[in-house]
Amino acid sequence: MMDWEALRGQFHLPKGVIYLDGNSLGPMPRAVPVRVGDVMEEWADLLIRGWNEGDGGGGWMGWPGRIGDRIARLIGAAEGTVTVGDTLSIRVYQAVASALHLAGPERAVVLSDEGNFPSDLYMAEGLVSTLGRGELRVVPPEAVMDALTEEVSVLMLTQVDYRTGRMHDMAALDRAAKAKGIVTVWDLAHSAGAHEVDVTAAGADFAVGCTYKYLNAGPGAPAFIYVRPELQDRVRPALAGWLGHARPFAFELGYAPGEGIDRMRVGTPPVLQLAALDAALDVWDAVDMGQLRARSLALSGRFASAVAARCPTLTPALAPDVPRGSQVSLRHPEGYAIVQALIARGVIGDFRAPDILRFGFTPLFLSEADVDAAVAHLAEVMEREEYAQDRFRTRRAVT
């Protein structure tokens, strides 16, 4: 069995805080400041030579692929199929544009669902508008399978609904899509580091994800993109960036795509952010994803059962038999104010419009005692109607 207490000790957790928001921004691993500090010293001493000589002589320039291989292990991908850098929205745009090109011009419907993260939908909507053809079609999550028709070219889904936590069956949907010649794009923002993922077994064509949630790499940490090996040399990058060129330092005026996953690189690697991610990934060297998933379900199930017993006015966002990720979402008309009242007590979750209280369960740093204490605080907030105070109803910039 894994030593959960030892894993918890690898994180900086503020005293008096129960953190149930690792699904939005993970806490800082203790190794991160040391690692980032070391790289800052390299920058100070090596200056521009760090691109070739940093990281003990290997150079910073190769980090997107090296660190991508570390993420690949967590999503069931082979080495050489993941690269890291740029933002998740950029990665979504890359993946959907490449998928549309692979699907061909005969059909150009991008199918998604109402549980997809809005930024993904915005990217797809903007892309089809720029291309001047096709459409973005959005259906309820439970209707996706039936919506896989012959006119659909790309299936673009977030595996775990960011609001409710509903989890799609990636393998089943991918099989159904492939049977109709549909290219698949999966957003793993709420999957990578939360539960077992196997993009290889599922047959996913593209997968993207961020690293600042369950992977704990820090605010604004870079995103990753996976491309199925058989497709890598057929992919035409819509964002033909300098570092995706086959010979970036030849400074040729025309674009020639790099080999394999390297062609999905766009901008200059964010070295300090990648250093933080590299350190954060050290935690995962000792993690068995099967055990992590089992404990995640145990902790979230414990929370959900206790809330149902003690807070009857809070409604589960999902039916008990619907597969979910590593979160519990509850509904209440005063959801925002309830979350703010909890935060004032040191229990940090978050709110998603229009009425969802969202709580993430990350076994790397949460215990049964944390869960029980969080439920006790929530019950008191509801019983005393603390959320009715004006100070908890004033909306802040980030909810």
> Active-site residue numbers?
117, 187, 212-213, 358
How is residue 213 annotated by DSSP? Answer: S
Name the token pair of 25: 């921004």
d(CA 84, CA 63): 8
* Beta strands in 20-151, from DSSP E residues, in sequence order: 82-84, 109-113, 135-139
d(CA 388, CA 397): 20
Task: Give the closest residue to 27 by CA, choosing from 348, 353, 369.
Answer: 348
d(CA 346, CA 16): 6
Assign residue 47 a region (left: φ > 0; alpha: ψ between -120 and 50; beta: otherwise): left
Give long-range contacts, CB 8 A cutoff, 24+ apart: 334-338: 334/387, 334/388, 334/393, 336/392, 336/393, 336/395, 336/399, 337/387, 337/388, 337/389, 337/392, 337/393, 338/378, 338/381, 338/382, 338/387, 338/392
